[in-house]
Amino acid sequence: MRVSAKADYAVRAAAELAAADDDPVKGEKLAEAQDIPLQFLEHILLELKHAGIVRARRGAKGGYWLAREADEVTIADIVRAVEGPIAHVQSAPPESIEYRGNAEHLQEVWIAVRASLRTVLEHVTLADLVSGQLPSEVKALAAEPDAWVAR
């Protein structure tokens, strides 16, 4: 139930690309802007490229840019590209698991967990993120003072 460094880095780098608006940005510049180890970042960008989220060109004037418009890329797309499926249980999708005895309804709970993650991750786009104009449901969740206290 945690967010890896890789996913966090990936989203941050993608946010920088979204802000750069289609001109290629060098890996080194992304690394500096977001304080990410360059060589690690390059591996991440490669994964994003393989997932079809980012494009790249080498050489002078080279760099990375988004393959789609910033409002067509969600945080969920990026997290899935680097971390794999969201909210798997024991490495299997929750809809495929069968529970017995008194745990029968646990499947519904894990499904609800996944659904609730999706309502956030699939609705926030990179455009939302850089502009700060998050979808209203997401803003509402983050506006609760209680959401900011540790437990």
Partner DNA sequence: GTGCTCCTGACCAACAAGGTCAGGAAAGTC
Partner DNA sequence: GACTTTCCTGACCTTGTTGGTCAGGAGCAC
Q: Is the four-CA dihedral 83, 120, 122, 91 of positive or negative sign?
A: positive
For residue 52, the minimal CB distance to its own copies (Å) is 15
Interface of this chain with DNA, residues 57 to 86, rule: CB under 7 A = 57-64, 83
Q: Is residue 40 part of the contact set for DNA (CB under 7 A)?
A: yes
Side chain identity at residue 31, one-letter code = A
Q: Which does 138 bind (CB under 5 to 8 A by kind): DNA, its own copies, none?
A: its own copies
For residue 28, the minimal CB distance to its own copies (Å) is 15
Beta strand 54-57 with 63-66: parallel, antiparallel or unpaired?
antiparallel
Non-local (6+) Cβ contacts of 32 within 8 A are none
Q: Which does 70 bind (CB under 5 to 8 A by kind): DNA, its own copies, none?
A: none
For DNA, give the closer residue by CB, 16 or 77: 16
For residues 79 and 145, give the distance between their C-alpha atoms in angstroms, rounded to a whole number.
26
Interface of this chain with DNA, residues 86 to 125, rule: CB under 7 A = 90-91
Closest CA to 68 of 148, 146, 127, 132: 127
For residues 107 and 141, give the distance between their C-alpha atoms in angstroms, rounded to a whole number.
24
For its own copies, give the closer residue by CB, 65 or 110: 110
Site string for its own copies, 92-121 (x = CB under 8 A): -x-x---xxxxxxxx-xxxxxxxxxxxxxx
Q: Are 30 and 13 in contact (CB under 8 A)?
A: yes
Burial of 15 (0-12, 13-18, 19+ CB in 10 A): buried
Binding residues for its own copies, per CB under 8 A? Answer: 1-5, 7-8, 11-12, 15-16, 18-19, 33-35, 75-76, 79-80, 83, 85-91, 93, 95, 99-106, 108-121, 124, 129-130, 132, 134, 138-139, 141-142, 144, 146-151
